[in-house]
Amino acid sequence: MTRAGFVALIGEPNAGKSTLTNRMVGAKVSIVTHKVQTTRARIRGVALEGDAQIVFVDTPGLFRPRRRLDRAMVAAAWGGAADADVTVLLVEAHRGITEGVERILEGLEGIGKGRIVALAINKIDKVQSEKLLSLTKDLNDRYDFAETFMISAEKGHGTEHLKQWLAERLPEGPWLYPEDQIADLPMRMIAAEMTREKLTIRLHQELPYQMTVETENWEERKDGSARIDQIIYVMRDGHKGIVLGNKGETIKSVSKAAREEIEEFLGRRVHLFLQVKVRPNWLEEAERYSEMGLNFKDGNK
Ligand SMILES: Nc1nc2c(ncn2[C@@H]2O[C@H](COP(=O)(O)OP(=O)(O)OP(=O)(O)O)[C@@H](O)[C@H]2O)c(=O)[nH]1
Ligand SMILES: [Mg+2]
């Protein structure tokens, strides 16, 4: 008998949810940066473990939202946990129980008892092992976790064990996706995310949080390659200059890095064209949210 189900990964921004998703899937389906609030919507990555198909739901980090976009992101994250068969809370080993973690624990009480919630202490490569025991105890005193795992999503420590445990917790039933499917996100969105990742890594301060990337056009060519046109929306004229960079250097290197990654994902040649548009109010436009895979109304106060 096969098993299948959803496993939501939740936690503070930067906890390593997307890194863990990619590790479990064995391919990069969700973008990763060293900055907080990288993931903006729910990203589904599909992994196989024996007879089980585990659909990992990577979610935006949970934080105190200020803007409409923040509220929509946080709503998407909690929604992911509410719909999942199993939820895994990621906590960073070296940061321990922060205020943010405290608030997530309170939120977990709210999404209902009787749910399977596991704890994964991530980034164990960053701390001495003695610290982990007391952190495990403190967290389990605050919430009744079904199990605690100590992992390094980046290095792959403990992740196989976690995967096996999760597979055993899923309900019996047919697989939800074809055997060879690894992601459930339109290709145009994956391609836009890859460009946003490269931009986020290059840009500083608030700029990554004030831009969005959309695939506007996707054209299959006879020679097997694809022409992809994307728009980078920014909020101010000055931002446009920064994204372009001196003599267009920044956008050129972003475009090259993004193209290479999209090509690797697709396994064929890509011609990527990026255009920067100033759109002061994009954070309040419903269409931008649906393009991101978010619900605009979730951002209502
Ligand atoms: N040292 C170490 N770094 C890690 C580990 N897992 C993730 N990271 C790093 O932590 C940073 C954040 O990782 P992400 O996977 O983007 O974190 P996230 O939880 O998805 O973040 P948001 O999408 O912003 O909520 C990246 O720089 C990762 O390389 C780990 O096990 N050890
Ligand atoms: Mg993420």
Please answer whether residues 216 and 288 qualify as being in contact, where contact means their C-beta atoms are separated by less than 8 angstroms.
no
Same domain, residue pair 235 and 122: no
Domain annotation covers residue 175:
no
Q: Is the CB of 100 under 6 A from ligand 1?
A: no
216-225 mean pLDDT: 98
How far apart (Å, rounded) are the C-alpha atoms in residues 54 and 4? 6
Percent of the chain with pLDDT over 70: 100
Kindly report the protein residue whose alpha carbon is nearest to atom 2 of ligand 1: 123
13-34 mean pLDDT: 98
Helices first, then strands: H and E counts in the chain? 9, 10
Q: Is the CB of 208 under 6 A from ligand 1?
A: no
At 259, list the tokens.
Answer: 């193209």
Q: How far is ligand 1, taken at its centre, from the CA of residue 174, in Å?
A: 32
Domain annotation covers residue 179:
no
Domain annotation covers residue 178:
no
Same domain, residue pair 74 and 217: no
At 70, list the tokens.
Answer: 């923040």
The domain boundary, picked from 109, 137, 168, lies at 168
Q: Report whether pLDDT(191) > 80.
A: yes
Mean pLDDT of the chain: 97
Q: Is the CB of 121 under 6 A from ligand 1?
A: no
How far apart (Å, rounded) are the C-alpha atoms in residues 279 and 283? 9
Q: Which residues pair with 58 in a beta bridge?
A: 9, 43
Confidence class for position 13, pLDDT limits 50, 70, 90 = very high
Same domain, residue pair 151 and 196: no
Look at residues 221, 209, 213 and name the one whose alpha carbon lies nearest to residue 189: 213
Same domain, residue pair 132 and 246: no
Q: How far is ligand 2, taken at its centre, from the CA of residue 37, in Å?
A: 7
Nearest bound ligand to the CA of residue 121: 1
Q: What are φ and ψ of residue 188, in 5° steps?
A: -65, -30
Same domain, residue pair 30 and 134: yes
Instruction: Give the per-residue pLDDT at 178.
Output: 97
Same domain, residue pair 24 and 148: yes
The domain boundary, picked from 168, 195, 216, lies at 168
Pocket test for ligand 1, best of 32, 63, 149, 162 (most atoms within 8 A of CB): 32
Domain containing 80: what range? 3-168
State which H helix or E strand residue 124 sits in.
none
Instruction: Give the per-residue pLDDT at 114.
Output: 76
Instruction: Give the per-residue pLDDT at 158.
Output: 98
77-96 mean pLDDT: 97
Same domain, residue pair 261 and 228: yes
Pocket test for ligand 1, best of 9, 17, 18, 19 (most atoms within 8 A of CB): 19
The domain boundary, picked from 136, 168, 200, lies at 168
Same domain, residue pair 133 and 30: yes
Q: Which residues pair with 270 in a beta bridge?
A: 226
Same domain, residue pair 163 and 192: no
Contacts of 56 (CB under 8 A, 6+ apart): 6, 7, 9, 20, 21, 24, 25, 44, 45, 46, 47
Instruction: Give the per-residue pLDDT at 113.
Output: 73
Please answer whether residues 59 and 42 qualify as being in contact, where contact means their C-beta atoms are separated by less than 8 angstroms.
yes
Please answer whether residues 59 and 80 qualify as being in contact, where contact means their C-beta atoms are separated by less than 8 angstroms.
yes
Q: Enter the pTM of the model.
A: 0.98
Residue 282 belongs to domain with CATH number: 3.30.300.20
Residue 164 belongs to domain with CATH number: 3.40.50.300
Same domain, residue pair 107 and 196: no
Residues 225-250: b if buried by 16+ CB within 10 A, e if exposed: ebebebbbbbbeeebbebbbeeeeeb
Q: Report whether pLDDT(296) > 80.
A: yes
Q: How far is ligand 2, taken at its centre, from the CA of residue 103, in Å?
A: 19
Domain annotation covers residue 289:
yes
Helix axes 249-266, 187-202, angle to 10 degrees: 140
* 105-137 per-position pLDDT tens digit: 999 998 877 789 999 999 999 999 999 999 999
Domain annotation covers residue 176:
no
Domain annotation covers residue 197:
yes
Same domain, residue pair 102 and 164: yes
Q: How far is ligand 1, taken at its centre, from the CA of residue 16, in Å?
A: 3
The one-letter code for the residue type at 28 is K
* 270-289 per-position pLDDT tens digit: 999 999 999 999 999 999 99
Q: Residue 49: how many CB atoms within 10 A of its CB?
A: 17
Q: How far is ligand 1, taken at its centre, from the CA of residue 13, in Å?
A: 8
Same domain, residue pair 154 and 18: yes
Percent of the chain with pLDDT over 90: 97
Q: Is the CB of 61 under 6 A from ligand 1?
A: yes
User: How many domains are there within the chain?
Assistant: 2
How far apart (Å, rounded) are the C-alpha atoms in residues 82 and 61? 15
Q: Is the CB of 113 under 6 A from ligand 1?
A: no
